Structure 1
Amino acid sequence: FDIDANGILNVSAKDKATGKEQSIRIEASSGLTQEEIDKMMREAREHEAEDRRRRELVEVRSRADQLVYETEKNLREMGDKLSPDVKAKVEAAVGRVREAIKGTNVNEIKSATDALTQAWHEAAAQMYRTATGTSEAGGSSGPQSGSGGKDGAVDADFEVVE
């Protein structure tokens, strides 16, 4: 047997006793005429923009849904470390994203997702400040740049010369 580059299978067999040879050629046929193929290509081009919009909507919804899930999970785990007003702001933003996901307006979903991200960043900053004990004005609790630590060690750059 032999398969060529076009996927055509050629099979031949020879009977050694009689010396008769037979062969068969098998070609793949899609069953579509060139006209049908052209029609399908034309329809695909006509719907290309609509397909892009649908794909973008699905991707934006998926990202928004993932953000809602992660935010709700974080609120369950760390919500007690937030002030009630910040927690309410995050929960309201989650609700807006959930409502936006039900619709088909990509810009509305993106806007609600951005608002939720911003609200969560504020909540995370508050948790960080609470955990480190710093005020909103800021303050550093580590050694200052250029100073040594408790054991007198100083960070320095070095180069090994061989």
Structure 2
Amino acid sequence: MNPYHQSLIIIGMPGAGKSTIGLLLAKHLAKDFVDTDLLIQLEHRKTLQDILHEQGHLALRDHEEKILLNTHYTNHIIATGGSAVYSDKAMQHLKKFGQIIFLDVAIQELEQRINNMNTRGIARAPQQTFAELYAERRPLYLRYADIVIDCQGKNQDQLVEEVICQEAEDFAAEDA
């Protein structure tokens, strides 16, 4: 696939910066941007937290899977919800459109960033701690990632630059 038409799919924990880095990447690479959490909210006309409160975390994951399976975006930066990796079907579908980038942020950093755990719309079991959620999800992020970006000690510009360089290297290697 021509790199201009290839999408980049961003995965990672809540607070990893998927939407922020995604928007910056879209500007740098002249691609459209889509945030799948927003697509869920638009379809249901509710916030993620309202969906969680009314239907539970498994229903939110189901809604996310449906949105992801209906995602047919070329030449996009796609920021997924943190729980996208629970659906193997959805992740395999997204891989058809481009590389999957995992923004790997340490648990301590994430815990500092997330100060609205109970209102943010994070799909987790009712008594599950953020650390437990991290331990459960991180192996899934690593399983699906084509590129892992270690975010430790890097600012937004450095992360964008690293994603662009890694993506270009991987594309060149595939083309060789």
What TM-score comes out, normalization by structure 1 length? 0.28
What TM-score comes out, normalization by structure 2 length? 0.26
Higher relative contact order (CA 8 A, sep 6+): 2
Greater strand share, 1 or 2? 2
